Structure 1
Amino acid sequence: MMETSLNKPDRMGKSRLFRIFVILGSVFMILLIIIYWDDVGATHLYLHTTISGPHSSRLPLEGHADPKHKPDDDKDVSFLSDIDAFVNQFLEGTADPTEQVRGGTPPGDAHNQSTEKPEERFIPRREWKIHLTPIAAEKKQRQDSRKQLIRDVCSSNSSLNFPGKNRTFDDIPNKELDHLIVDDRHGVIYCYVPKVACTNWKRIMIVLSESLLVDGAPYQDPMDIPQPLVHNTSLHFTFNKFWKRYGKFSRHLMKIKLKKYTKFLFIRDPFVRLISAYRNKFEQENEDFYKRFAVVMLKRFGNYSKPPASAVDAFAAGVRPAFSHFIQYLLDANTEKDMPFNEHWRQVYRLCHPCQINYDFVGKLETLDEDAEQLLRILRVDNVVEFPRSYHNRTVTSWEENWFADIPYESRRKLYQLYEADFRLFGYSKPSILLHE
């Protein structure tokens, strides 16, 4: 009896030690999976198909079912989503407190929002599309040509050199990855470029990720999303937020998602984009851009020692920077000494890093409607969302000569050098009329 009671503490100690080893071993194995899962055949666990919850609005209407859709597909779960859930749990307390939680209400935007779990109810959707014809060969060839051109310009044999061309993905600071929006539900990464239909593409990403609710259910029509919410950073999970969520695993997870997900961006003629940015930010009353940029332009180049204090006062007095002032501001060496270019006129190669990220789809604003339709088919989400039809009152290339009429030749030449990488990478011809060639 005495021997039994003496051995009992030993057995309890061994049992406790065994449980500790089991727990530590389990955590170690899970971490190994996180680090090496892409090397052990995980490719088949995540396909670029819609991965969604049981919302009946996502089911095909009766009599119009997609023959390729299998009922059991809804039971599949993204492997990366499982990893996200685990790492969030394992690194509890490290998440970005400003980040929007799916289904929550963005700070200060409580209108028509609800944090309650959406009810399972039928929401009418468009009929599921069944494409009987493949994407046209010329459209595929156009994409191949655009992507090959980027590879050629980025290669070491290319005659064009520009900052950051030869760095690796690991060399890119986290703060420069803030334009890469990730949708884990559908395996999509979108690099948004301001003044290139990015408002509507952000709307698409909100609908796909279901990061914003109205009356307890995700938005289904992109145009129903209020514009002030579209650019709310809490609604978009971007690469620069990975560090706060995943810590030391962030770069590896970025690389996994870059490898597995479909990556796309949209671009436009660089000079036309500058004209569009000027029209939008300085020809309209924009208090933020007036105080941050217009006042600087007026002081440096407009001979205004004391510009009006507000955009309202400035517009009332007919005071605003001219397009020539904007160009002088871009060419001034002091501009980027004060701060990096604003995203609305920053070069695309600095926003989206095409030499470090192998994009699967390169769209252009000049062919927006057909490129958008092709991309949504490639992503297999054209049954979920439609890209809003573009309007035709946009800045176009034919306006360049008029806009640059008062810009001296030397300034035009320097401006082209500043944006030459974007011209060359994305196949835009050198504006010979502006440069007198």
Structure 2
Amino acid sequence: MGTSRMFRIFVVLGSAFMILLIIIYWDDVGASHLYLHTPVSPGPKIPHPAPPQRPQTSRTPSFLSDIDAFVNQFLEPGTGEPTDPAPADTSNQSEKAEERYIPRREWKIHLTPVAAELRERQEQRRRLLQEMCANDSVVFPGKNRSFDDIPNKELDHLIVDDRHGIIYCYVPKVACSNWKRIMIILSESLLRDGVPQRDPLAIPRDLVHNSSMHFTFNKFWKRYGKFAKHLMKVKLKKYTKFLFVRDPFVRLISAYRNKFELRNEDFYRRFAQVMLRRYANQPTPPASVDEAFGVGVHPSFSHFIQYLLDPQTEKEMPFNEHWRQVYRLCHPCQIQYDFVGHLETAEEDAEHLLRQLRVDNVVEFPTSHRNLTASSWEADWFSTVPVEARRELYKLYEPDFRLFGYDRPESILNE
């Protein structure tokens, strides 16, 4: 007990030697799992007083609390200071909240074996990624750079959950809203009636996409300073990393439907007006999306493809995340993903992944069939796009097709 107190005193004093020691030994002691869901050596259950009322928002730990979590691993059993803080006493909460919340230490793990074909599917997808990244015929910007060379601003799609040792790279238009909900549930970063939210679909959409709800790699620099890149690589080595992808052309159709066929003021002003001026002979497009929809004006799918192929587009700004290539969002040749899900097999893959993460009894993936874009619609959508433009578009997204095992759409490219 005395030794652990000395550790805590040195940490609070900000001893440079202690911080250096943490960094040196981090890999060996597994300290990257800062908030594990079970204690290292569970001692006797000791009642804990209820903490002060906390705001019903994200509770991102500070740098010192991260170090505290590291130091707590050295505490002896029975000291009354377990490595994972016990859930707040909910005796004063509503009965409904008590029924919904189950303390993490009492969660049981489902041990139903995963079907052999699902394990083989993942092995094939991981092997394909490795082969394509080593294949000189697959060429795209940034393919051969190291992880250290990736700019910090390009790491904003990697969400980290230290409780369960998970890193999720989210790809817009690939069920990312629901996977972000899952990450919020697992990280317990949203409270309701004083206890962590357990129902994914009860999380409002504006919170799902609120960056403050997620701890992403690009935020490491602000918290950890010069140690940020080292800690990223430690977590990449130790944590389970996953992403979900879909047919690149179908993803583009989905992005167009969602952002330009529906009323979206932000996307209208930032992108639709540009497309209307450049490609639709509309030098003075309507000032607002409501005005545009009122007179039946919006960019066509063909205009959208022209915008993607126009060299001027990326000279002005990088592709928006909703149509940016997956290899630019998730860096699959620098990060060895443990699980690659496909939207086309989403339900099976989600069940397999949650079981692999050992949280399948904690949360279920919420299935949604709202506004799904089917692969069979590709021919209809591309019928207004010139064949040459289709081929140029394929070149632009070919790395995503090949990295993730999607067939070249011959019927669309050879009409």
Counting only pairs closer than 5 Å after superposition, residues 237-276 of structure 1 correspond to structure 2 as 237-276=215-254
Q: Which residue of 2 aligns with 1:153?
A: 132
Counting only pairs closer than 5 Å after superposition, residues 201-350 of structure 1 correspond to structure 2 as 201-350=179-328
Structure 2: how far apart are the matches of 1:397 and 1:230? 27
Q: Which residue of 2 aligns with 1:416?
A: 394
Consecutive unaligned residues of structure 1, counting only runs of 5 or more, are 1-21, 54-68, 76-80, 90-116
Structure 1: how far apart are the matches of 2:14 and 2:110? 46
Structure 2: how far apart are the matches of 1:234 and 1:31? 27
Give me the CA root mean square deviation: 2.9
Residue 339 (structure 2) pairs with residue 352 (structure 1): no
- Contact kept, 8 Å, 1:277 with 1:345, in 2: the verdict is yes
Q: Which residue of 2 aligns with 1:144?
A: 123
Q: Which residue of 2 aligns with 1:124?
A: 100
Residue 18 (structure 2) pairs with residue 42 (structure 1): no
Structure 2: how far apart are the matches of 1:288 and 1:380? 39
TM-superposed deviation, 1:334: 0.1
Structure 2: how far apart are the matches of 1:47 and 1:34? 13
One-letter amino acid matched to 2:113: P
Structure 2: how far apart are the matches of 1:286 and 1:140? 41
Q: Which residue of 2 aligns with 1:428?
A: 406
TM-superposed deviation, 1:408: 0.5
Structure 2: how far apart are the matches of 1:37 and 1:207? 30
Residues 330 and 428 of structure 1: is their aligned pair in 2 closer, same or farther, counting only changes over 3 Å?
same
TM-score (ref. length: structure 2): 0.82
Q: Deviations over 1:156-210 (max 9, x none)?
A: x431110000000000000000000011111111000000000000001111111
Counting only pairs closer than 5 Å after superposition, residues 60-209 of structure 1 correspond to structure 2 as 85=65, 119-121=89-91, 122-124=98-100, 131-155=110-134, 157-209=135-187
Residues 350 and 42 of structure 1: is their aligned pair in 2 closer, same or farther, counting only changes over 3 Å?
same
Aligned pair count reads 366
Structure 2: how far apart are the matches of 1:27 and 1:49? 23
TM-score (ref. length: structure 1): 0.78
Residues 246 and 229 of structure 1: is their aligned pair in 2 closer, same or farther, counting only changes over 3 Å?
same
Counting only pairs closer than 5 Å after superposition, residues 375-390 of structure 1 correspond to structure 2 as 375-390=353-368
TM-superposed deviation, 1:318: 0.3
Larger Rg: 1
- Contact kept, 8 Å, 2:243 with 2:340, in 1: the verdict is yes
SS of equivalent to 2:15: helix
TM-superposed deviation, 1:305: 0.6
1:27 to 15, 19, 22: 15
Off by >6 Å, runs of 4+ in structure 1? 22-26, 46-49
Residues 82 and 229 of structure 1: is their aligned pair in 2 closer, same or farther, counting only changes over 3 Å?
closer
